Amino acid sequence: MKYQTCHSGKIFAVRWFQTDVASLEAVEQEFSSACRRVRDKLVYVSISKDDTPPPDDATRKKMLAGVDVILKEASHFFIVMESRGFRGSVQRTAMAGLMLVYKNSRQIKTCANMDEVFAELENAKIPVNRQQVLKDMATAGL
């Protein structure tokens, strides 16, 4: 399995174990279907750990193109990089730096964990049932 998704309330989360073009396309379709089902924009959360292999060049290009697809249907976009210590800080800083050059960077936030995502949503007055989302994510294997 290269990824696992979970749709809970206003949150659509995907945990990446390995990223490739086919998986990115499949997740885009799942996200779009979830938005159509609820007839609303959802919060998109992409989660990876520090041991997730880096994507190849074709996958990186698809990731950038896929961000535009996701942003059309997302109310918020979060990248959660679950890395600790210095390495995690460097990875999140590098991702934030990449997002600075991306045209829609203001719509994407980089976080260290789901607690930061929930805090951002609370600040934006987006109602989410934190306990239910975490329960659903755990049940789905995220």
**Per-residue pLDDT at 138:** 96
Instruction: Indicate the angle between helix axes 130-140 and 114-123, nearest 10 degrees.
Output: 150
Cα separation, 26 vs 103, in Å, equals 24
**Per-residue pLDDT at 22:** 95
DSSP state of 53: P
Percent of the chain with pLDDT over 90: 57
Q: What are phi and psi of 2, to 5 degrees?
A: -95, -20
Do residues 17 and 2 touch, judged by C-beta distance below 8 A? yes
Q: Which residue has the tokens 């959360």?
A: 45
**Per-residue pLDDT at 97:** 54
Question: What integer best gives the mean pLDDT of the chain?
Answer: 85
Please check the confidence at residue 68 and state whether its pLDDT lies above 60: yes
Please check the confidence at residue 110 and state whether its pLDDT lies above 80: yes
Cα separation, 107 vs 74, in Å, equals 9
**Per-residue pLDDT at 117:** 97
pTM of structure = 0.87
Q: Which residues contact 15 (CB under 8 A, 6 or more apart)?
A: 3, 4, 5, 47, 48, 141, 142
